[in-house]
Amino acid sequence: MRTLRVLSCSLVLCCLAGAARADLDLPRPSPFAKVSQTVGYTEITVDYSSPGVKGRKIWGSVVPYDKLWRAGANNATKVTFSRDVTFGGKPVAAGSYAFFVIPTKGAWTVILNKKADQPGTGTAYNQAEDAARVSITPKAAPMRERLAYLVTDFTDAKAMLDLEWEKVRLSIPIGLDTAKQAQAAIDGAIDNVWRTYANAARYMLETKKDYATGMKYVDQSLALKEDWFNLWIKAELQAAQGHYAEARTTGQKAYELGAKSPMFFLEGEIKKTLAEWKNKKG
């Protein structure tokens, strides 16, 4: 019995020791890393694992020349753009991509592949799914023990995506359409504001609350953008105050402008109202 108890205790201790080893948390050889930078309106993000040099010969050995490399360790490196960009001069749609390179002794081939989540450079990679392939020549750089990605030299309109490891830096130019995006944001904001003022003026007109304030609002709307919609509101406000000559002039202008842009244009209603105002004095 004593022998059985000793054996049982030994088995328990062995199991506990095995569990302790299994749960031991040690630094990873290639820790996960992430870099993210907003450039203009665009967020550029790189998810990767960062191997170390560890005294090894990297280029042409650990990373062979003329072979596809996942540009990191473990899974393939992933690059995400929140908006459309140009990558090495080639247009790339917003989204996530697997990032690969083919190092050589000269220019390297840099690849974005549409299958963003891949285990590496095995059979999962399919060249037919490449979104972009560009040729970039690496440059010498100060020694960097662990592979790193950086977004550098960025302005509102451009950035460089740098891969650095050992004594090599690979810099890929990223182009951004920030000016166009900013103008669209400005136009959208102004469009909202002129419509807000126009609707405020229309409310004053329809409720017959305060025509003078309605005129103030519609003039503020017209100062931002002249549209058949706010011109017609102004014409109706002028008519409501008995200024029919002014209303006919403004209304005719609204009619002509609306005829050029017929979406939601109340052609029949305006034509009928202008005819009613034709013989009214004021």
Structure confidence at residue 237 (pLDDT)? 95
Supply the pTM of this predicted model: 0.72
What is the spatial order of strands in the sheet that 130-136 belongs to? Answer: 32-39, 42-49, 77-81, 95-102, 108-113, 130-136
| More reliable by pLDDT, 146 or 3 | 146
pLDDT digits (tens, 9 = 90+) for 126-157: 999 999 999 999 999 999 999 999 999 999 99
Phi, psi of 271 (to 5 degrees): -60, -45
Confidence band for 94, pLDDT divided at 50, 70 and 90? very high
3-state secondary structure of 132: strand
For the chain, report the end-to-end CA distance as a whole number of angstroms: 120
pLDDT tens track for 173-209: 999 999 999 999 988 888 889 999 999 999 999 998 7
Calculate the CA 32 to chain-centre distance. 24
The residue-averaged pLDDT of 6-32 equals: 60
Instruction: For each of the domains in the chain, give its residue range(s) and CATH number, in order of start.
Output: 26-176 (no CATH), 179-277 (1.25.40)
